[in-house]
Amino acid sequence: MTAGFDHSYARLGRTFSSVQQLDPVSAPKLLLWNSRLAAALEWPSDPLSDPAQLSALAGNEMLQGTQPIATAYAGHQFGQYNPQLGDGRATLLGEWVTSAGDRFDIQLKGAGPTPYSRGGDGRSPVGPVIREYLLSEAMNALGVPTTRALAAISSGDPVYRNRLEPGAVLTRVASSHLRVGTVQYFAMTRDGEGLAELVDYVVQRHFPNYSGEQNAALVLLDGVCAHFANLVAHWQVLGFVHGVLNTDNALLCGETIDYGPCAFMDHFDPTASFSSIDRQGRYAWPNQPGIMHWNLAVLAECLLPLIDTDPTVAQQQAQAVVDRYPQRFHHLHQARLATKLGLDSMKETDGPLLQAFHDILAAERLDFTLAFRWLTECANDTLAHSPLPELFAAPVALTEWAQQWAARRKDNAGDTEMLNTNMQSANPVVIPRNHLVQRAIELAEKDETDWIHAWAARAQTPFTWDSDDLEWARPPSEEERVTQTFCGT
Ligand code: AMP
Ligand code: MG
């Protein structure tokens, strides 16, 4: 079978989505093209050499085999239920199925208004498009499940936010865009019509081991529980703050989505929160594990009618799955921390050692990423051969702590060489820092892409040192420090 488009979600019918018309832009121009992802997808053409492809990915003409739709969903935003969200500025071209049978949603974000736009213009400024492209591709290179970016194309049309900004369209690729909010929409609308059909669909698409004998809703809940625990464990150890963990931004396939107000912390701040609209810190770094548990509970509640006709039984069964989450998260998080610290496992007694490390990082405002990399270079005896000393100075408190840590490492049962090597592939050198994102956005607005290309390339190998890393790996100067992020829709 050759790769091509399919439309299994569109076939579910019109309560699930609406047919979307193309809404052309004036002057499409390619900003970024992800040739690696294109190759992995067996994408047949590229907008560098094929004007029709450029035009299609800007939403100006139909790609062969596409059947554009916009999908319906709801969601809790900052804890408040919003019954009508939906793809307000995203057009799903269809599902791209590779020759191996892997299926991906191909979505144009910013391609014009849809029936779910609620008065919005359905467009996106170039800033958020560049931000999403760079961050999602960096996340992927860091090994975190995420939606991907295939192309960023400037539209030639201005969009008005607080000021006029150049517009752009992003081609987003995801295992699917089905969200907790999608399930909420069907559970809460028209007496649950379509809910069972949706759940069967999601289970078949994302949990193919499902045998048909178990309860599909419980399989979904349990699978999503495992995905969320895994995803948040990744985010926490990287110091990634998503910023807007509403239920419509929680994908059932467990990929990171919505790179609006997110940010990686530079210096360690145990209460880190960047989003300008998150005044209470609901989605602050320390709250992410708990918030995804809450999102899971929302999903569970929607699924109750499908779990059992007896509400008490349904409740008990759903609760049992939701209650698995804290343990699952803890287990995965501890395993990631152990790898980062060069330990074979985290023992109960390691709690104070880790806390002391965090306390030093917080008190000295040390760079979170580089502090872990400093441990890595120390363990591997490579500090003097790396650019790290030019980027990071370990204070006395940290070097003293490192002696306790080295003593603790002597208790490791595992092979030290292997643990040291694992540290190198768990502690990145380069992360998509806010001040770099900011610079990329400013350049993109001026249509200057050379530096952006260089950074996108550098972000592909985040765990190894490279030339020019004094630029790519360094923390921001005081003036460059970004303290607040904006949704920038
Ligand atoms: P987000 O903050 O990107 O998660 O978006 C929340 C909701 O608002 C989603 O339903 C979006 O589709 C919708 N939305 C965001 N920006 C726009 C826009 N410019 N035009 C129309 N709908 C939008
Ligand atoms: Mg969103």
Q: What is the three-state SS of 69-92? A: EEECCCEEECCEEECCCCCCCEEE
How buried is 338 (Cβ within 10 angstroms: 0-12 exposed, 13-18 middle, 19+ buried)? Answer: buried
Residues with CB under 5 A from ligand 2 (ion): 249, 258
Q: Which residue matches tokens 């997808």?
A: 41
Q: Residue ranges per domain, the chain?
A: 4-176, 181-335, 341-489
For residue 390, the tally of other CB atoms under 10 A from its CB is: 11
Going by CA atoms, what residue is nearest to atom 12 of ligand 1?
88
Q: Please report how the helices 351-363 and 368-380 are oriented relative to each other, as an axis angle in degrees rounded to 10.
A: 120
- Judge contact between 174 and 259, C-beta under 8 A: no
Minimum-distance ligand to the CA of 84?
1
Average pLDDT estimate for 223-241:
98
Q: Per-residue pLDDT for 209 more than 90? A: no
Identify the DSSP state of 31: E
How buried is 195 (Cβ within 10 angstroms: 0-12 exposed, 13-18 middle, 19+ buried)? Answer: buried
Minimum-distance ligand to the CA of 74?
1
pLDDT tens track for 150-198? 999 999 999 999 999 999 999 999 999 999 999 999 999 999 999 999 9
**What distance in angstroms lies between residue 15's CA and the mean position of ligand 1's atoms?**
20
Q: What number does the ligand 1 atom closest to the CA of 159 have?
A: 19
pLDDT on residue 212: 81
Quote the percentage of the chain above a pLDDT of 90.
96
pLDDT on residue 489: 61
Q: For residue 24, what are the contacts with CB-CB under 8 A and spacing of at least 6?
A: 58, 59, 60, 61
pLDDT tens track for 298-325? 999 999 999 999 999 999 999 999 999 9
For residue 335, the tally of other CB atoms under 10 A from its CB is: 14
Q: Per-residue pLDDT for 79 more than 70? A: yes
pLDDT on residue 166: 97
Instruction: Provide the pLDDT confidence category of residue 486 given band limits of 50, 70 and 90.
Output: confident
**What distance in angstroms lies between residue 407's CA and the mean position of ligand 2's atoms?**
46
Residue to mutate, 91, 135, 489, ligand 1, most ligand atoms under 8 Å from C-beta: 489
Minimum-distance ligand to the CA of 251?
2
Q: Per-residue pLDDT for 104 more than 80? A: yes
pLDDT on residue 412: 95
Average pLDDT estimate for 13-39:
96
Q: For residue 167, what are the contacts with CB-CB under 8 A and spacing of at least 6?
A: 25, 110, 123, 124, 125, 126, 154, 155, 156, 157, 158, 159
Q: What number does the ligand 1 atom closest to the CA of 85 have?
A: 10
| Active site positions, annotated | 248
Chain centre distance of CA 206: 17
pLDDT tens track for 39-70? 999 999 999 999 999 999 999 999 999 999 99
Average pLDDT estimate for 81-92:
97
Minimum-distance ligand to the CA of 179?
2
pLDDT on residue 80: 97
Quote the percentage of the chain above a pLDDT of 70.
100
**What distance in angstroms lies between residue 251's CA and the mean position of ligand 2's atoms?**
10
**HSE-CB for 69 with a 13 A CA cutoff:** 21
pLDDT on residue 197: 97
Q: Please report how the helices 434-445 and 450-458 are oriented relative to each other, as an axis angle in degrees rounded to 10.
A: 150
Q: Please report how the helices 216-238 and 288-307 are oriented relative to each other, as an axis angle in degrees rounded to 10.
A: 180
Q: Per-residue pLDDT for 474 more than 90? A: yes
Q: What number does the ligand 1 atom closest to the CA of 121 have?
A: 20
**What distance in angstroms lies between residue 15's CA and the mean position of ligand 2's atoms?**
20
3-state helix, strand, coil in the chain (%, to 5): 45, 15, 40
**What distance in angstroms lies between residue 82's CA and the mean position of ligand 1's atoms?**
12
Give the CA angle between residues 26, 487, 434 to the nearest 5°.
Answer: 100
pLDDT on residue 213: 87
**What distance in angstroms lies between residue 131's CA and the mean position of ligand 2's atoms?**
14
**Residue 194 Cα distances to 202, 235, 306, angstroms:** 12, 33, 11
Going by CA atoms, what residue is nearest to atom 22 of ligand 1?
88
pLDDT on residue 388: 98
pLDDT on residue 487: 72
Average pLDDT estimate for 355-364:
98
Instruction: Indicate the pTM of the whole model.
Output: 0.97
Rounded distance between C-alpha atoms, residue 83 and residue 88, angstroms? 14
Least confident of 219-228, 271-280, 368-377: 271-280
Rounded distance between C-alpha atoms, residue 442 and residue 77, angstroms? 29
- Judge contact between 174 and 288, C-beta under 8 A: no
pLDDT on residue 488: 62
Mean of per-residue pLDDT scores for the chain: 97
Q: What number does the ligand 1 atom closest to the CA of 487 have?
A: 2
Rounded distance between C-alpha atoms, residue 434 and residue 484, angstroms? 10
pLDDT on residue 414: 86
Q: Which residues of 64-103 are buried (b: 16+ CB within 10 A; e: fewer)?
A: eebbbbbbbbbbbbeeeebeebbbbbbbbbbbbbbeeeee
pLDDT tens track for 263-300? 999 999 999 999 999 999 999 999 999 999 999 999 99
Rounded distance between C-alpha atoms, residue 427 and residue 121, angstroms? 41
Pocket of ligand 1 (CB under 6 A): 85-89, 117, 120-123, 248-249, 258, 260, 487, 489
Rounded distance between C-alpha atoms, residue 200 and residue 220, angstroms? 9
How buried is 232 (Cβ within 10 angstroms: 0-12 exposed, 13-18 middle, 19+ buried)? Answer: buried
Average pLDDT estimate for 398-422:
96
Q: What number does the ligand 1 atom closest to the CA of 489 have?
A: 16
For 191, the enclosing helix (H) or strand (E) is none
CA dihedral 86, 88, 89, 91 (to 10 degrees): 40
442 by DSSP, 3-state: which? helix
pLDDT tens track for 126-163? 999 999 999 999 999 999 999 999 999 999 999 999 99
CA dihedral 238, 431, 440, 138 (to 10 degrees): -80
